[in-house]
Structures are given as structure tokens and as C-alpha cells.
Chain A
Amino acid sequence: MSETESADLEKFRNETRAWLEANCPPEMRKPATSDADVFWGGRNTKFASEPQRIWFERMRDKGWTVPDWPREYGGGGLSAAEHKVLRTEMGRIGARPPLSSFGIWMLGPALLKYGNEAQKKEHLPKIAAGLIRWCQGYSEPNAGSDLASLQTRAESDGDDFVITGQKIWTSYANYADWIFCLVRTDASAKKHDGISFILFDMTSKGVTTKPILLISGYSPFCETFFDGVRVPKSHVVGTVNRGWDVAKYLLQHERAMISGMGERGVGRPLGQIAADSVGSDAQGKLDDAMLRGRIASFDVDEAALAACAERAVDLAKAGQAHPAFSSAMKYYGTELNKRRYEILMSAGGVDALEWESERSKQGARPRAWLRTKANSIEGGTTEVMLGIVAKRILDLPGA
């Protein structure tokens, strides 16, 4: 980096810090405690609170819901270095993301790479502004880990495809406005070669959704049914029958997103949370030596993983990243997050067992604990991730 560049970046840092200080409401400087606390956008959205609305609108107006997207698509147009500065400065004050969205995390990057100009212009600004909420139609009842064996079929009919089939584990399908979906457009081709990536409105005729109740007591996932849904062929992203390329690219982003779940490094450190309920001895040490040891080991691994996540970004920038590395991060990040919640439950003791009470915020902690168990399943199981690392990075033999 030249001296001018580094001076410019320092200037950007100072301005950003001052802007965040002035514009991020205090209520938005701590982690969300429940799902209702997270703003997802969409046609039918409501803000949970005034600070949530203020924070979202201010960030949106700067293009900072998607800081590194081009300005013409509603982004902030930040360079990679500036984006890193913004993330660091938001992390410094514990600022939450103003908008959570599968459009931002998953579809957006895929559209930027594979979408045509009309598709980018149509969809990206609405994602950035939180106007349209997206869901992902990938998994099917018999195509989970073995995703490419999916059966939902799209039959050609003039300028349209007619889509029939079923998806499962469609996160928030019941709240989503649009879906990005994998469908089989050529049943005779080899498994990976007959799949297309298509976008359509969830209010289309023939779409129904049914929530699935989970062990956490919530229904973030749905079964989604398509009964002759008519979709213009212009809604296919990339080339017909080459949707697997788009799907894989998008999965990398999904894995990167899931590996970052649990807002590592945000909020109070585990050791302090544990000290609140367990207490400390005369030397100020957590009064449960085994728990203290588990937390300290966790902290070591978490700090090391944070360094690795930082390095993954730096490697990508330097053009040295292995394309399958997101699988490595996904595996480790999700296993670590499960460990974190096991510790939180252990630290909370009896208090962490309350399921329906004001004091427990309706069982926020045990529900979150149960939710984390899905981390190592969704987006590709830990076993699938390890298989990808073994074959694609280590080049071990076998299909």
C-alpha cells in the first residue's frame, strides 16, 4: 500500500468512526437476543423498535447494508480495505448488522458474478434496500447432503418454465417474497449437468409453504411445494442446465456466512458471563475449575479461528485462497459455535433451563443452544465439509 493510500484509509477510518458514533443508536450496539430483534426486511416487514428502524435507514442511505457492492446496485462502493475498516469499526462498538438477509449473504454475490445486467438492476437494489426478502430453494426430502440428486422439475413451455416439486428446510419461506431455487431442467443429463438456477415470486400461483416445528420450539424452516408454478425463462440466472456452477458459488458464501454465526467476539466474554452465575473465588478465578478450563480452551480456539478467518480474507485478496477453504471454515466455525452454547448452558445452570418466562426472555438461551445444533447440518453437514476438504484440498483418493 502506498503512503497516499494508507493516509486515505486512515482518513476513512476516522470519518467512519465519527459517523458510527453519531449514528448508531446505543440499543443497536449489543447483540440481538432473539429472532424478533433481527431485521430481515421484505414486503411485509415491521421494525421491532424505533432504534432498529433508525439504524437500518441510516445505514441503507449510505449504501452500507451492502458496503462492498457497486453503488449502481445500491451498495456502498467500498474497496476491500475500506470494507475491512468498516467491519472493524462496527465491531469496535459492537454495532449489529442493520439488515440480515439471504439476499445479501447468498443471492447477491451469485447475481454479481452470474446475473445478466437486467437481473442485477432488477434485484440487487431491492436487496440492498431491504425491500424484498429472499429464501433459498435447495434441499429436497431426498436431496439434502446429496444435493445434486434433486428432483424438482422445470418443464419448458414456450417462454416459461413450469415448475413442480417439493423443497424442504427452506429457511423463512413463510416470510419470503422471492425464492432462488435449483430445478432440474434436463432429466436425461448427468446428475450435475441438468440443473438450472431460477428466481421467482413466492406469491406465484402454485406455491405453498408449511413451517416445520423444531426442537427449539421455533419454525425457521419450511416445507415448500410447487404445483405447476409458471416462471419466465428470463428468470434463469446463468445458463440453462449450468445452474450447478451458480449453486456451488453461492454455497461458498453460505458456508462463509454460517461459519461466522454466533457473532464471535461480540458481546460479553464467556468467562464473565460464567462468573455472573457461578461466582469467583478469592483470587478472582471462576469458581468452577473445570468450567474455567473449558472456557479458556474455547477462547484459545476462538481467537485462533478469528485469525484464520482474517487470513482467509487476506489470502483471497492476494489470489492465494483455495476455493474449497470455505468448507474448512464452515466445519470449524459451526463446531465451535456448538461448543460455545454447550458452555453457555453449563455456565447458566438452572437459569438457562427456563423455557417460558419473562426473566429468561422466553427461553432465549436454551432455544439458541438448540438452534446451534443445526449449524453443523445446514449448508452442508460437517461430514460433507470434511469430505470436501479431504478430496478437494488434500486430494485424497476415492469418489
Chain B
Amino acid sequence: MALVLTEEQSMLRDSARGLISDKAPVSHLRSLRDAKDPTGFSKELWHAFAEMGFAGLLVPEEFGGSGLGFMEAGVVMEEIGRTLMPSPFLATSVVAASALNRGGNAAQKSEYLPKISNGSLLATLAIDEGAKHRPLQTSLQAVRAGNGFKLSGAKALVVDGHVADLFIVAARTAGSAGERDGLTLFLVNPRAKGVSIERTIMVDAHNAARIELANVEVTADSVLGEVDQGAALLDGVLDIGRGAVAAEMVGLSEEVFNRTVEYLKNRKQFGKLIGEFQALQHRAAELYVDIEITRAATMKALQALDADVAKAASSVAVAKARAGTTATRAVQEGVQMHGGMGMTDQFDIGFFMKRARVCEELFGDANYHTEQLARTRGY
């Protein structure tokens, strides 16, 4: 498989870019932030997204989706990264849709997937409990009760948690924190008794929430996949999310880099364009190479996911680690090279820096994934 976009993928990119740059430039995020918008994204835009087939991009055609692959999802994520458009695409259309599609039984799929496709249902994965991404450290308890389970515990950084219609919650049905066995995924209604939700206003002005479950009752039908055997399903779903976030970071890095290079070509100091200074030229060139390498690694990971999710782990680890490091460097150079302007809220660069920080933490930072690679290589 060639590491270049096919003609169809290029067309998809162009249509996504057209819609996003037109309707949701960075000023769109800024105005949602400034208005303290209760939803945190534009419902109107999300419906337009759904009408273009993006909401159900990964959903099979039999459930009303487009049945496309992770490369295509990455193409859309990259465009989202360019303007930082807040949207349910990552949580609902990529992560939750994949979880339901891969782990769901026939009834679950036919109940939820069509609604994801038409944009009427928002869903999200609730996984992390501590400050850092450690999926195996899950300790939220699911105790058998009658025909079902009772869930108790808390989750942090639940993307779109305050507007979601469905939570996919990682819980422990057996074993203890740190163990692979004993994890189970549950479908939980956010409006069920015992669920409390706190919208956490995050540094990047995107949606997230902390949720708490106090003896929340769910039926046996709400288990996604197999009881106690959720780790394998979770691994795949998380890798899909990681590949998507890496693609968002590629878009974000390239956009902030393009803006910085433009600035270097226009800003004068000491009677020269600052882009003439070799010190800045070389740093810009290094960053360009970093971004190109990261783009290739990310495409490689998305292709690996399309080929076989279960075998994509090390490619995904490489991509997410690289993307985190590169995005961090891109936003730091962006702010630094813009000088004092880069520090102002009025200027957009800061938005990229904030989003990059969140993307870095989401589904594991560069250290986490570098460690994963070392483990898979056995040293």
C-alpha cells in the first residue's frame, strides 16, 4: 500500500477542508469559548457533517454509514486539527463507533450505529481515572447484581462527557488495578440514576467532563463484548483513537508551522526579514522534517489499522509518540518565533499550543507510547 493519498482520499480531504475552513476557522472555537457555550460545539455544523457522511464514516453501510476506513478518518481528523474545530467526530464517530462496531452484538449495533451515522446520537469512551492514561489501572467497580451489574467509581477526561447520550465505560468485573484480565466495557445511559457529570472547562476550550457513578444499575444487555475480557477490545479501540489523534496532531502541527513560516517571510527586525536569519531558517527546516516524518509514521499507523487492528499496536505507538513530540515542538517554535505576538490571546497561535497539550495527554503521551514500543520489542 503506497503511503500517499488515493484520488478518493484526496477528494474527501478537499471536501472536509472546504466545509471546515469555511464554517469553523479558529475564530469559531474562540467564539464558543468566549460565549461559554453550553454545548461546546455547533450542532448545526455537526448536522452538516452528518449529511456529508462524516459522522458515519467508519460505520458499515448496512447501518447507514459510509463504511470507510481509518485512513479516511485520519484525513478528516487532520483537517479538524488545522482549524481546531470542536466536534464530536473523535469521541462519537471514531472511538465509540469503533467500539460498538467491533465489540457490539447485533442488537447493540442496530440500535446505536444508525443513530451515530445520522448524527443524532453522541457517544464517548470513559476510561482514565488518574492523572495519566493507564487503561489497565482501571478500578471502577462493576459488581454483579441480579440479572445485571452495579457500577461505582469515577472517570476523568471523558471527551464530550457533558453532552453525550451514551457512555462506554471501562470497569473492573474481576481482578485488581493493573491486571489485564477482569476488564469489561459497559454501555451506560448518562441519565441513569446515580450518574453525576461535571463539565470540566479545559485549557483547550474543547469538551470534557469528569463523571461519577454511584451504584448505577445496568442490565446484562449493556455489556459490550465479553465479561472480564474487555482488554483486547479496549486495546483495539484505543489504538484507533490514538491513530486518529495522531492525525489531528499532524494537521495541527502543519497548520501552526505554515503560519509560522508565513510570519518569518513577513516580519522585519534589524532591517531584515527574520526569515533571512540562518538560526531561524535551520530551526524551521528541522521542524519541517519532523512534521514530514511524523506524517509518514501516522499514515503508516492508519494503514496498519486498516489492515488489522490487532497487529497495528507498534505502528500506532510510533505514530502517537512521534506526533506528541512533533506537535509539542511545532507549537513551541510557533509561539517563540512569533515573539510577543505569540503570547497574546488575540493571536491564534496559543490555541494550537493548548490543543496540542491536550492531544498529547489523550490516549497516552509520548513517554507512554515510547515505553510501549520498548516493551513490544522486549527490552
Interface residue ranges, A against B (CB under 8 Å): 269, 271-272, 274-275, 280, 284-286, 292-293, 295-297, 299-301, 303-305, 307-308, 310-311, 314-315, 317-318, 320, 325, 328, 331-332, 383, 385-387, 389-391, 393-398
Contacts and interface: CB of A to CB of B under 8 A. Distances in A.
Given A315-B4, A397-B276, A398-B275, A303 B297 contact: yes
Nearest to B315: A303
A388 to B, nearest CB: 8
A271 B288 contact: no
The 6 closest A-B pairs by CB, nearest first: A271-B379, A398-B276, A390-B281, A304-B297, A311-B3, A389-B285
Contact of B379 (A272, A304, A395): A272
Determine which residue in A317, A385, A397 has the highest number of CB atoms from chain B within 10 A of its CB, and name it: A397
B27 to A, nearest CB: 26
A254 to B, nearest CB: 18
10 contacts: A272-B378, A295-B374, A301-B293, A301-B322, A307-B293, A307-B300, A331-B286, A331-B289, A332-B293, A396-B284
Given A295-B374, A300-B317, A308-B297, 6 more contacts: A296-B370, A304-B322, A310-B300, A311-B3, A315-B4, A393-B288
A275 B379 contact: yes
B373 A318 contact: no
A305 B379 CA distance: 21
B296 interface: yes
B374 A271 contact: yes
B285 A299 contact: no
A303 B293 CA distance: 9
Given A300-B318, A318-B4, A320-B4, A394 B293 contact: no
A304 B370 contact: no
A320 B296 CA distance: 14
A387 B278 contact: yes
Given A304-B297, A390-B282, A317 B2 contact: yes
A131 to B, nearest CB: 36
Given A269-B377, A398-B275, A332 B299 contact: no
B265 interface: yes
B373 A307 contact: no
B308 interface: no
Contacts of B378: 271-272, 284
Contacts of A389: 285, 288-289
Contacts of B370: 293, 296-297, 300
